[in-house]
Amino acid sequence: MPHPGCGPFDLLRRHAVVLVVDGHGDDPHPGAAQFPPGMLHTRAPDERSLRWIPMSRGGLAEGIASTADLPVIRVPRVGPSPLRVSYSAANDGSADRMTATIVNDCRVAFPTASLRFVLRAGTYRASEGRIVRPSPPTTARRRWSTSRSRPPPPAPPR
């Protein structure tokens, strides 16, 4: 968001903007009083975090009324990411079977997340989760196939 003296407040009002994501910092925006009523203005608390904004096809997910309803995900500058996946084999088309392990330390569920597996050409089935879009090999890629797979639903946050 530009400096409050230069803010596009008329544009926000004219287009009925309902969400503005504004960088980092929990300090109130100096021009907060000029934001249209009902608009959600949010910032991540600091440069080592982000706010997860749950969305639905109609906009903000139900139950999101204020910044306090948006979970903060801490993203360390060093060390493992709070959301990560490891594969049991190279995900490059050289394997004919693979297991993916997903670690979610975010305390936020991602129920529609998917993974991409690149395996040797063949027919595959998922032992957990489900295959949502297998891709048959093309002329240029006869040696491998790709598929998107949805993992099983996550455990509830701790």
> Residue 140 is which amino acid?
A
Residue 9 falls inside a structural domain: yes
Span 93-121, pLDDT tens digits: 889 888 988 898 887 888 778 888 888 87
Residue 129 falls inside a structural domain: yes
- Closest C-alpha to 26, from 75, 81, 78, 72: 72
Enter the tokens of residue 143. Answer: 């040696």
Mean pLDDT of 67-88: 88
How much is the pLDDT for 143?
47
Last residue in a domain, options 46, 74, 102: 74
Residue 158 falls inside a structural domain: no
Residues 56 and 114 occupy one common structural domain: no
Residues 87 and 60 occupy one common structural domain: no
| Phi, psi angle pair for 49, to nearest 5° | -150, 170
- Range of 60's domain? 4-74
**Residue 136, CA distances (Å) to 70, 89, 91 in order:** 40, 20, 16
For residues 87 and 100, is the Cβ–Cβ distance under 8 A? yes
Last residue in a domain, options 74, 95, 123: 74
Q: Please tell me the total count of domains within the chain.
A: 2
Read off the pLDDT band of 34 (50, 70, 90): confident
